[in-house]
Structures are given as structure tokens and as C-alpha cells.
Amino acid sequence: MDEPSATQPPPPDADADAGADARAHAGAGVIATRGLTKRYRGGQLAVDGLDLTVPAGSVFGFLGPNGSGKTTTIRMLMGLIAPTSGTARVLGQPMPRASRAVLPQVGALIEGPALYGFLSGRDNLTRYDAADPTADPRTRRTRVAQALDRVGLSAAAGKKAKAYSLGMKQRLGLAAALLQPRRLLVLDEPTNGLDPQGMREIRTLVRELAFDGTTVFLSSHLLDEIEQVCTHAAVMAQGRLVTQGAVSDLAAGARGRLVVTTPDPGDAARVLKEQGVGDLVVAEDRVTGEPPERDLAEVNAALVTAGVRVRGFGVERASLEDAFVALTGEGFDVAG
């Protein structure tokens, strides 16, 4: 039964120890990596000393521009590639050694869906389910039907997968991740190639799953996507972890901006400068800047006293994008 290989999980009698191990490490996060590093054979350093901790029950956004090492990290977490150095624990157990105990509890969508084009959507799921040693063949049909229903593919279940649109393929890939109740879902850019409606549906699904208690690890290069669904986030740039934490904390790290809407932008800018507002930017009828330490009510009063007609006055909440720019000193669309 056991598979004597470096990349294989331990023999079944070691599972008991592994279970105790898992409970002992429960506090360490659903995913915990230490110094995780991957240098590809070509010499490309794709992930560099990653220390990542994903809290249980979180919707964790793994954010970074294309080429920043997100997929490489996920491949290591799923035991598909071996780290060059460092360690990764998933559900408290070491990967890739404990693959056989860990992976049945993990649903994954990695670098887009991959399907057998000559099989129907339903048969694709049946095949992936048959590959899971813990999947009960007696409930296979029902679970496949439920997974198809959950992603809205019931009507197209009998169609050959090669006739599916990109969005349908993506949903079928998601359905494969949902064939069993999972403790962890790893979704690598799940909204890639979807239209806005499809994106919304994925977000709704992620929220539902999180509500059910599944930890969701979601990679994306889209900031607003992470902001909309994630409770926690980590930011990657060029293979390195820039920051990680609760989304609210990350956004709070970057201060909001004062925004004044007025038909007299020139006068407004002059008054605001006198009031100690820094980094002023004037764009048509909008003047924005870094809010001063003093009470904003006084700033507003000064504008009115100077005869500036004010239409709108307020502080815009800092976005994750602001936080990213503040952290990396560069725009988000820079490829690694």
C-alpha cells in the first residue's frame, strides 16, 4: 500500500502520528511556510524565502503581479514541485511528504482548469474523483451531480468538455475542487478569463464556502478582487513576500487622502497648502492631498472663509492599491 519514495506521503501507520501532529500545529495556520524557496532548473529564482501564514477560516488573498511567484508557491504547497529550500506545512502536515493525508482535504484550481476534451463535463469530474483514494465510489454520482449543480453546469454536464467556453471550463475546474467537503480551497486566479457576471458568481461562491467554514486561499493579480472578498492578504513582488495581514490593517497602513470638489480648484489648492495639506494634486474640479494633523473642520472653514465654493469635502478610504504602492514604491502592473 505504501509508496516508498521521497515525494510520497508516509505509510498508513504513520497517519496516526500525522493526525496528532496536525492538531499540535493547528495554531500555526492552515498554510505555514518557512523560508520557502524555489529556483527553477533554468536558474530562475521564482520564490525567495517565503514565510507565509494563512489563518484557519480566513479568505486569504495572495496578491501579486504576473510572474511574482504565486503559482510557483501553490505548486509547492500542493506537492507538485519540490522546494529548493525551506519548508511548507498544509493543514499542519509537511508537504510534499504528507500529500496522501493532506490533499484529499484540499480542493485546488491551479493555473486554470485542465480537462479531457473528449470526455463530457460529468465524466471529467468522475475521472478526477476516481483518482482520490478517499472518495467513496458509491456516492460518486451524487457528489458529481452536486458539484455540477453548485457551479451552475448541470445543464451542460453531458456536453464534451472541448465544446465548453473558457468560463464553463473554469467552472468545471472549480466543480472538481468541490467534489468533497474540503478544509482548504486553493484557487489560483479563479476569475481569469471570466466575464464580470462570471467573476461575481465566483466571488459569491467563495463567500458561501468561507461561510461554511472552508479556508480559502485565493491568488490574484487583481487588487479589487482581493479587496472585495478577502479577510486577509499577502502581497508578493518578484518572488518575495512584501507584507501579509488582515486586509483592514494593510489598507490602514496607507493613509486616506483628503478630497475637495470645487469649481475654484486654483484658490482651493492655495488655501489647502496654507492649511498644511501636502502632496497636492489638482485634476479639473478635484483637489486631493495628504490630510494635515489638524482638525479637518478648520480646514473646511478656511476654504469657505477664503470664498472657495466647496461642493464636496471628505477623506477617501485608502485602498489596498494605495497600500501596495506605498509598500513597493511602484505601480501594481509592473511585471516581476
Ligand X SMILES: Nc1ncnc2c1ncn2[C@@H]1O[C@H](COP(=O)(O)OP(=O)(O)O)[C@@H](O)[C@H]1O
3-state secondary structure of 271: helix
Residues in the chain: 336
- Minimum Å gap between C-beta 93 and another protein is 10
Nearer to ligand X, 42 or 196 (CB): 42
Q: For residue 326, how many other CB atoms are within 10 A of its CB?
A: 14
Binding region for another protein (CB under 8 A) out of 147-155, 238-246, 262-270, 298-306: 147-155
- Mask 11-50, x = binds another protein (CB under 8 A)? ----x---x--------------------xx---------
Q: For residue 86, how many other CB atoms are within 10 A of its CB?
A: 17
Q: Residue 131 binds what, of another protein, ligand X, Mg ion, none (CB under 5 to 8 Å, by partner type)?
A: another protein
Which residues lie closer than 8 Å to 11 by C-beta, 6 or more apart?
Answer: 1, 2
Q: Residue 201 binds what, of Mg ion, ligand X, another protein, none (CB under 5 to 8 Å, by partner type)?
A: another protein
Which residues lie closer than 8 Å to 141 by C-beta, 6 or more apart?
Answer: none
- Minimum Å gap between C-beta 71 and Mg ion is 3
Q: For residue 258, how many other CB atoms are within 10 A of its CB?
A: 24
Which residues lie closer than 8 Å to 39 by C-beta, 6 or more apart?
Answer: 45, 46, 84
Q: Which contacts (CB < 8 Å, 24+ apart) does range 329-336 have? A: 332/65, 332/223, 333/65, 334/65, 335/65, 335/66, 335/67, 336/64, 336/65, 336/66, 336/67, 336/68, 336/69, 336/237, 336/238, 336/239
Binders of Mg ion in range 22-51 (CB under 5 A): none
From residue 273, give the alpha-carbon distance in Å to each of 270, 291, 315.
Answer: 5, 10, 16
Whether 157 contacts 193, CB under 8 Å = no
Nearer to another protein, 114 or 334 (CB): 114
From residue 304, give the alpha-carbon distance in Å to each of 282, 307, 313.
Answer: 18, 5, 11
Q: Residue 44 binds what, of ligand X, another protein, Mg ion, none (CB under 5 to 8 Å, by partner type)?
A: ligand X
Q: For residue 229, how many other CB atoms are within 10 A of its CB?
A: 20
The binder of ligand X chosen from 40, 278, 316, 317 (CB under 6 A): 40
Q: Residue 42 binds what, of Mg ion, ligand X, another protein, none (CB under 5 to 8 Å, by partner type)?
A: ligand X
In whole angstroms, what is the distance from residue 234 CA to residue 236 CA?
7
Binding region for another protein (CB under 8 A) out of 58-66, 119-127, 266-274, 288-296: 119-127
- Minimum Å gap between C-beta 72 and ligand X is 3
- Mask 52-91, x = binds ligand X (CB under 6 A)? ------------x-xxxxxxx-------------------
Q: Per CB under 6 A, does 36 bind ligand X?
A: no
- Minimum Å gap between C-beta 192 and Mg ion is 9
Binding site for Mg ion (CB under 5 A): 71
Which spans of this chain sit near another protein (rule: CB under 8 A)? 3-9, 15, 19, 40-41, 56-57, 72, 75, 78-82, 99-101, 103-106, 108, 110-112, 114-116, 118-119, 126-134, 136-137, 143, 146-147, 149-152, 176, 178, 180-183, 201, 204-205, 208-209, 212-215
